[in-house]
Amino acid sequence: MTDGILVGAASPRSIAGSAGRPGSASETDDQWWRRAVIYQVYIRSFADGNGDGIGDLAGVRARLPYLVDLGVDAIWFTPWYVSPLADGGYDVADYRAIDPTFGSLDEAERLISEARDLGIRTIVDIVPNHVSDQHPWFQAALASEPGSPERARFWFRPGRGEAGNEMPNGWLSNFSGPAWTRTNDPDGTPGEWYLHLFSSQQPDLNWGHPDVRAEHEAVLRFWFDRGVAGVRIDSAALLVKDSALPEVPLQPGPGEHPNTDRDELHEIYRGWRAVADSYPDARILVGEIWLPDIERFAKYLRPDELHTAFNFDFMARPWDAPSLKASIDSTLAAHAPVGAPATWVLSNHDVTRPVTRYGQEDSSFAFATKRVGTPTDLELGRRRARAAALLCAALPGSLYIYQGEELGLDEVQDLPAHQLRDPMYLRSGGEDPGRDGCRVPLPWAGTSAPFGFSPAGATHEPWLRQPGRWAGLTVEAQQRDPGSMLDLYRTMLRIRRTDPALGDGPLRWLPSAPDVLAFERGDGFVCLTNFSPSPIELPAGGSLVLASAELSGARLPSDATAWLRLDRSPTRTSPSGDRRRGGDDGME
C-alpha cells in the first residue's frame, strides 16, 4: 500500500524564518521539541569519512542530506568528546574537546551550523554521573592523599575489615560485578576504594561537591554557546548518592534508594534549567531516566526541570496490545499534570534492535539480561517493527529514531569475539552478550562490506563486522524500493511533519477488539494496529493514508498498522454528532 503514497524529495528546511509547514521548526518556535523527530547518531558507526573504519564528523557532514531527506528535526550525538573509549565514549576525559578519532572542535562547530542551515538542530550528550579515569580530576585524585580536596570530588572510601580488603559497601555495578575498585597509594601499597556504578574506568562524581555542579553548568554553557539546541543527560537519575553509603534496602520506598532517584536531584536540574532558559531561544534538557515508578519519573519533567525524558516503559514492553495500551495510558496520564510531552522510543545504542526483539517469542526488553541463543524470526520482527514505527509516530509527543532503525537493521549476534568491546560483555565474562550488536556500522551502498560505510580505498575494515545479509538493507538498495523500511520511515515522517493532527496534542481511543489498538488524533486522523493473528476490516468512510503492510482489499493484516483519514462530510456524521462512527466499524 505504500506504493500509493507520493514521496516528494525533501528540500532543505530553514530553522530561521518560517518554512510554512504546520509544526515546522522555526527559530522563534520555542515549542519545537514538543513534537520533534530526533535522530540518534552513534558516531563511531554512522559514516567513516577518512577510511580508518571508524565513523567520524566528516562522515556525518557528508550525510546530512540523507537526514534532511529522512525528515528529522534534530540529531542527538552520543558522546563525541575525548575519551579512552572504555564505554563507547561514556567515559569522558575532556568535555570541551572532540576525540581526535572523530575530528576537531572546529569541525564540530561547522557541523552544528551546517545542520542548522539545513533545518536540523543538534543535541549533545552530557554524562554527569561519572568521568573517565583518565579525566584530569581523577588523575589528580589518585595522585593525592586520602581526605584531600582532590579526592572529595569522587567517592573515595577506606575498605572495611582489618586490612581494608573489603569493599566499603555491597553496591553492584550496572555492568555486573562490584561497584568499587581499590586504588594503590603512590608508594604502591593498597589504598582507598572508589565508587563506580558502571565500569571501573568510570569513577562516579560526588554531586555534593560545589566544583562538580559548577563544572557541569559551565559545560552546558560551553555547548549552548556553540549553538547546540539541547543536551541528553546520561544516567540522569543516578547522580546523587546518600553520603552515608548505606546498603540498598530490599524494597526501597520512593526516594529511599541510596543511589537512584534521590530527591536532591531536582534542585540540580532546576539549576540546569535556569542555564538553558538564560538563552533567548529554547535549549532543551532530555533525561535518560530508567525508573519503574512513572509518577516519580514525571517529577523530573515539572516546568522548571527537564523538558522531556526517554520513555523506556513503552520500549521495554512485549508486542502485545493490552500491555502497550496500558503503557500509553500510564505514560500520557503521568505527563499530563506536569504539562510535558511524552517521548516514544523503539531503540537506542543500549537495546537489542527492534527487528530482532519483535521477532522473538518474548519480545520484552530489560537492560542487562541475557539475549543470545533465542530463536528469532526476522521476517516477523521486521513486520512488527514497521507496525511499531507507524504506531509510535502517531502517538502524542516527540519521537526518537536510532540510526539504522529506519533501515530495519537487526541485532548482529555473531560478531567475532575479539571485536567485542562493550564493558557489559567484558565485565560479565561474556555472560551478557553486551551491546555491540546494535552498534554495527551502517550499510550505505554496494553489495559487500564495508557497504559504503568507509570510502573506497579505506585502510581499515569497519570496527565491527557488518553481516553479508545487510546487502539488501543498504540505503542505496532501499532507496530504489517503494516497499522498503526506509521508504516507510520517509513517508511516515513527511506526513507527520505536515499533518497538524500528529505530534503534540490529545489522543482519543476508539472502540476496538482487545488485540487491536485504535485511536484518533485531531479531527479524523486514525491509527490502527492489528496485533491479532487474522486480518481485520478497516472502518468504512475512511481513506488510507499509509500502511505498514500490503492490505488485502479493505483488510489490515496481522502485525500491521494503518493510518487513515476519516471522511467527515456531514452525511457521514451520525445524527447524534458522534464523530467516532466511522472508526467503530470493523474494529470490534
Residue 87 or 305 having the CB closest to ligand GLC = 87
Alpha-carbon gap, residue 450 to 472, rounded angstroms: 13
Which CA distances in Å does 519 have to 37, 410, 508?
Answer: 20, 29, 5
288 classed as catalytic: yes
Cα(60)–Cα(58) distance, integer angstroms: 5
Distance from C-alpha of 73 to C-alpha of 79, rounded to nearest angstrom: 19
Closer residue to Ca ion (CB): 425 or 463: 463
Taking residues 40 to 79 in sequence order and writing x for each that binds Ca ion by CB under 5 A, - otherwise, the string is --------x-x-x-x-x-----------------------
For residue 520, the partner it binds in Ca ion, ligand GLC, none, with Cβ less than 5 to 8 A by kind, is none
Name the grid cell of 535: 486480518
Closest CA to 562 of 581, 580, 543, 576: 543
Closest CA to 75 of 119, 34, 35, 22: 119
Q: Which is nearer to Ca ion, 48 or 305 (CB)?
A: 48
Query: Per rule CB under 6 A, is residue 87 in the interface with ligand GLC?
Result: yes
Q: Is 350 in the site for ligand GLC (CB under 6 A)?
A: yes
Which one from 87, 234, 313, 405 is the annotated catalytic residue? 234
User: What is d(CA 48, CA 68) in angstroms, rounded to the nearest whole number?
Assistant: 19
48 or 422: whose CB is closer to Ca ion?
48
Angle of CA points 78, 267, 238, to nearest 5°? 45
CA–CA distance from 176 to each of 173, 200, 240, 349, 367 (Å)? 5, 11, 20, 18, 11
Q: Which is nearer to ligand GLC, 73 or 91 (CB)?
A: 91
Q: Are strands 37-41 and 398-402 parallel, antiparallel or unpaired?
A: parallel
Which entry of Ca ion, ligand GLC, none binds 54, CB below 5 to 8 A by partner kind?
Ca ion
Q: Which of 56, 87, 204, 288 is catalytic?
A: 288
Binding-site size, ligand GLC (CB under 6 A): 9
- What x-and-dash track marks residues 277-306 binding ligand GLC by CB under 6 A? -----------x------------------
> Quick check: is 204 catalytic?
no
Which residue, among 286, 275, 277, 271, has the nearest Cα to 230 in the 3D structure? Answer: 286
Q: Which is nearer to ligand GLC, 63 or 435 (CB)?
A: 435
Considering only 198, 207, 297, 453, the residue that binds ligand GLC (CB under 6 A) is 198
Interacting partner of 50 out of ligand GLC, Ca ion, none (Cβ under 5 to 8 A depending on kind)? Ca ion
How many whole angstroms separate alpha carbon 70 and alpha carbon 19? Answer: 17
Q: Is 411 an interacting residue with respect to ligand GLC (CB under 6 A)?
A: no
Minimum distance from residue 424 beta carbon to ligand GLC (Å)? 8
- Kindly tell me which of 235 and 512 has the beta carbon lying closer to ligand GLC: 235
Among 99, 234, 313, 559, binds ligand GLC (CB under 6 A): 234
**Neighbouring residues of 525: CB distance < 8 A, sequence distance ≥ 6:** 394, 499, 501, 502, 545, 563, 564, 565, 566
CA dihedral 22, 25, 27, 28 (to 10 degrees): 40
Which of ligand GLC, Ca ion, none does residue 548 bind (CB under 5 to 8 Å by kind)?
none
What is the DSSP pairing of strand 230-233 with strand 190-195? unpaired
Tell me how many degrees the CA angle 285-290-292 measures, rounded to the nearest 5.
130
Within positions 89 to 128, which residues make up the interface with ligand GLC, using CB under 6 A? 90, 127
Using the rule CB under 6 A, which residue among 40, 206, 235, 327 binds ligand GLC? 235
Chain residue whose CB lies nearest ligand GLC: 90
Q: Which does 235 bind (CB under 5 to 8 A by kind): ligand GLC, Ca ion, none?
A: ligand GLC
* Contact partner, 521, from ligand GLC, Ca ion, none, Cβ < 5-8 Å per class: none
CB of 418 to ligand GLC, least distance (A): 21
Residue 476: count other Cβ atoms within 10 Å of its Cβ: 14
Q: In sequence order, what are the residues at sequence separation of 6 or more whose Cβ sits closer than 8 angstroms to the Cβ of residue 428?
A: 175, 176, 177, 434
Q: Which does 198 bind (CB under 5 to 8 A by kind): Ca ion, ligand GLC, none?
A: ligand GLC
Residues designated as active site: 234, 288
| Contacts with Ca ion, residue ranges (CB under 5 A) | 48, 50, 52, 54, 56
- Chain positions contacting ligand GLC, by CB under 6 A: 87, 90, 127, 198, 234-235, 288, 349-350
